[in-house]
């Protein structure tokens, strides 16, 4: 029994089947070849052996070889033995290459449990964290090198830039820092009064407010406010300069970006944060005085006497000693995140957020370290 199609003919003797390819099995005829193969498979009877020949096959390209390979695979899946040894020597090799390529391009999917994926992600983040820490240490080395050079050569300092940043990070921040310190001192005073009144010890509210503001709350809240205000501004400004190629232009002109951008901002913040801390301490004590006089009916003279007996120079110096350290870390972290901006405006927002988060974390971590050290030293 024989069947004739445009691109092949079929001869069958019941047990075996001979598939004679003809015409051009090329990409232009793929749709017609596929349609004829579908029609033939719908009427084909089960056979044990299929012999493929190509006496009248004029051309075979990649698409035609793929159609032939797919046809042979379906025949094998149906239990037939496929023999294409009668084809020209190049044709079987071409189809075999198609089969090998299909095997390489479609590897079996690897199924990994969710636990393994979590462990892999945790490890990846840990490695990235170590790389970030090493980069931060290197950046700190550059900062100390440049600052040391400027200290030894004061004429290299850019005084107009330092003055401008002192105004932006210091004087313009006084209103918000003062308001925050005043409100926090009122909160501390009222909460302390609520608890101490149970024991008839409202007078100790003055001790609570004074020591808390001078040692911890004044400098800590000021540093957090400056981190959100000035640290983010440093990261955004330098990040935009990176995108506008201004930093690259400085390097082309022989200007060290660390000297021009890092030094003025760092020195300005180291100068202004202690001043802001002093203002926050004074305003915080004023807030405690307002609560003591108007809410607890404590005379102003008694408040001042109690304040003089409780507050020592040590409490004040412990709080003020933290300010330059906080300022240095906030400035360095914000400037570093600005220099890390590379690709797009999205990096500016992302790195600005990282600057604020990392600065606040560093401030709180250093404050905890100060608390442990001062406690162990009995200060």
d(CA 237, CA 12): 81
pLDDT of 105? 46
Average pLDDT, the chain: 83
Range of 96-105, 263-272, 337-346 with top mean pLDDT = 263-272
3-class DSSP assignment, residue 80: coil
* Residues ≥6 apart with Cβ < 8 Å to 183: 287
Contact predicate 170/276, CB 8 Å: yes
| Domain locations in the chain as residue ranges | 2-105, 117-156, 158-376
What is the CATH architecture of 2-105?
Answer: 2-Layer Sandwich (3.30)
pLDDT in tens, 174-228: 999 999 999 999 998 888 888 877 777 778 888 888 888 998 888 999 999 999 9
Give per-residue pLDDT as tens, 256-314.
888 888 999 999 999 999 999 999 999 999 998 888 888 888 888 888 888 888 888 88
Instruction: Pick 82 or 106 by higher pLDDT.
Output: 82
Q: Between β-strands 49-60 and 81-86, what pairing exists: parallel, antiparallel or unpaired? A: parallel
Of 293, 319, 301, 281, which is closest to residue 193 (Cα–Cα)?
A: 293
Residue 183 is predicted with a pLDDT of: 92
pLDDT attached to residue 329: 94
- Which of the four pLDDT bands, split at 50, 70 and 90, describes residue 110? low
3-state helix, strand, coil in the chain (%, to 5): 75, 10, 15
User: What pLDDT band is residue 243 in, cutting at 50, 70 and 90?
Assistant: confident
Q: Give the pLDDT score at 357.
A: 93
Residue 59: strand, helix, or coil: strand
Contacts of 136 (CB under 8 A, 6+ apart): 336
Q: What is the pLDDT of residue 247?
A: 87
């Amino acid at each position: 029994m024989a069947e004739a199609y445009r691109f092949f003919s079929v001869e069958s003797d019941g047990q075996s089947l001979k598939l004679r390819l003809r015409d051009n099995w090329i990409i232009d005829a793929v749709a017609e070849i596929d349609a004829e193969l579908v029609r033939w498979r719908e009427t084909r009877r089960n056979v044990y052996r299929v012999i493929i020949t190509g006496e009248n096959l004029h051309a075979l390209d990649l698409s035609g070889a793929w159609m032939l390979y797919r046809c042979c695979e379906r025949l094998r899946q149906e239990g037939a033995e496929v023999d294409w040894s009668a084809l020209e020597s190049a044709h079987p090799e071409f189809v075999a290459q198609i089969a090998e390529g299909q095997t390489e391009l479609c590897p079996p999917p690897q199924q990994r449990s969710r636990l393994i994926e979590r462990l892999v992600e945790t490890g990846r983040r840990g490695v990235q964290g170590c790389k970030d820490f090493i980069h931060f240490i290197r950046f700190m080395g550059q900062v100390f090198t440049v600052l040391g050079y400027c200290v030894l050569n004061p004429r290299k300092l850019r005084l107009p830039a330092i003055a401008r940043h002192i105004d932006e990070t210091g004087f313009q921040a006084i209103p918000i820092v003062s308001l925050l310190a005043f409100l926090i001192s009122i909160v501390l005073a009222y909460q302390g009064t609520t608890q101490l009144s149970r024991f008839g010890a409202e007078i100790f509210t003055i001790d609570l407010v004074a020591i808390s503001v001078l040692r911890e709350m004044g400098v800590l809240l000021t540093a957090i406010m400056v981190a959100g205000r000035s640290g983010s501004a440093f990261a955004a400004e330098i990040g935009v300069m990176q995108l506008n190629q201004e930093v690259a232009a400085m390097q082309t002109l022989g200007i060290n970006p660390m000297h021009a951008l890092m030094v003025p901002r760092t020195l300005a913040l180291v100068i202004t944060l202690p001043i802001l801390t002093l203002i926050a301490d004074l305003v915080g004590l004023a807030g405690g005085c307002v609560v003591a006089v108007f809410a607890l009916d404590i005379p102003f003279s008694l408040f001042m006497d109690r304040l003089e007996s409780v507050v020592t120079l040590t409490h004040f110096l412990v709080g003020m000693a933290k300010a330059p350290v906080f300022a240095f870390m906030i400035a360095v972290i914000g400037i570093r995140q600005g220099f890390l901006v590379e690709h797009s405006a999205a990096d500016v927002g992302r790195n600005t957020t990282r600057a604020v988060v990392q600065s606040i974390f560093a401030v709180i971590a250093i404050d905890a370290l100060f608390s442990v050290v001062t406690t162990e030293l009995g200060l």
